[in-house]
Amino acid sequence: MTSKSKTRNIPPMDCKITSELIQDFIKTRVTEAGVKGVVIGLSGGIDSAVTITLAVKALGAKNITPIFLRNKNSSESDIEDIKTLCKKLKLELIHYDIQSVIDEFSKSINQTENSSELAWMNIKPRLLQTYLYFHANKKSYLVCGAGNKSELMIGYFTKFGDGGVDILPIGDVYKTHVFQLAEHLKLPKSLLQKPPSAGLRKDQTDDNR
């Protein structure tokens, strides 16, 4: 006898309870560390948008430092979405253009940047963590990551890059549920409808990584 395997859909999540649990988690970790706030890298995607929104609810906008690193492959729509979100959350965005840093690295190793090559794609998240930890150390804050459970399960992150953080508030939340949380938090539709992307090369999406 043969049997056909069936794909089971992930059941809906209680977004209100999950949101409250994540906020409690953020508060607890920050208190245990003896600090007041967190630094978060924004990508223009839904994961970091959900994470920073919950962090603001947990700690207040004054205790959140959002950072965005721009390079030649950055999407203008991502930049606009980040600015819109920060304005909505009353956050003061720190914005750096790191292309000159990448160019200097390219010169130092005498190699031309190839944005579609894995070695070069991983430079960006590793640079991001350097900037995040610089600001975290100056303020005595924690670095808050935005990785979700789906990414962690398949290893879809950069070692010593976006995987190197102090806390991961949505680390137990599947990507499907991240979208549900985003709707519950009433995030902008542009974030809900945007194809997920790590933003490591031009026009990259998670489907064509």
Q: What is the CATH number of the domain that holds 143?
A: 3.40.50.620
> Is the Cβ–Cβ distance between 31 and 5 less than 8 Å?
no
pLDDT in tens, 161-199: 899 999 999 999 999 999 999 999 999 888 888 776 555
- Residue 85 forms part of a structural domain: yes
- Residue 197 forms part of a structural domain: no
Q: What is the pLDDT of residue 3?
A: 46
- Residue 200 forms part of a structural domain: no
Among 92, 42, 23, CA closest to 62: 92
pLDDT in tens, 49-104: 999 999 999 999 999 999 999 999 898 989 999 999 999 999 999 999 999 999 99
Distance, CA of 71 to CA of 156 (rounded, Å): 21
**34 half-sphere exposure, CB direction, 13 A CA radius:** 0
Q: How many CB atoms lie within 10 A of CB 140?
A: 11
Residue 29 has pLDDT above 60, yes or no: yes
Residue 208: band (very low, low, confident or very high) from pLDDT cuts 50, 70, 90 = very low
pLDDT in tens, 13-24: 899 999 999 999
- The larger pLDDT score, comparing residue 56 to residue 157, is at 56
- Residue 206 forms part of a structural domain: no
- Residue 110 forms part of a structural domain: yes
Distance, CA of 64 to CA of 40 (rounded, Å): 7
- Residue 5 forms part of a structural domain: no
Domain count, the chain: 1
Which residues span the domain enclosing 102?
15-189
Q: Which residues contact 203 (CB under 8 A, 6 or more apart)?
A: none
- Residue 203 forms part of a structural domain: no
Residue 209 has pLDDT above 50, yes or no: no
- Residue 56 forms part of a structural domain: yes
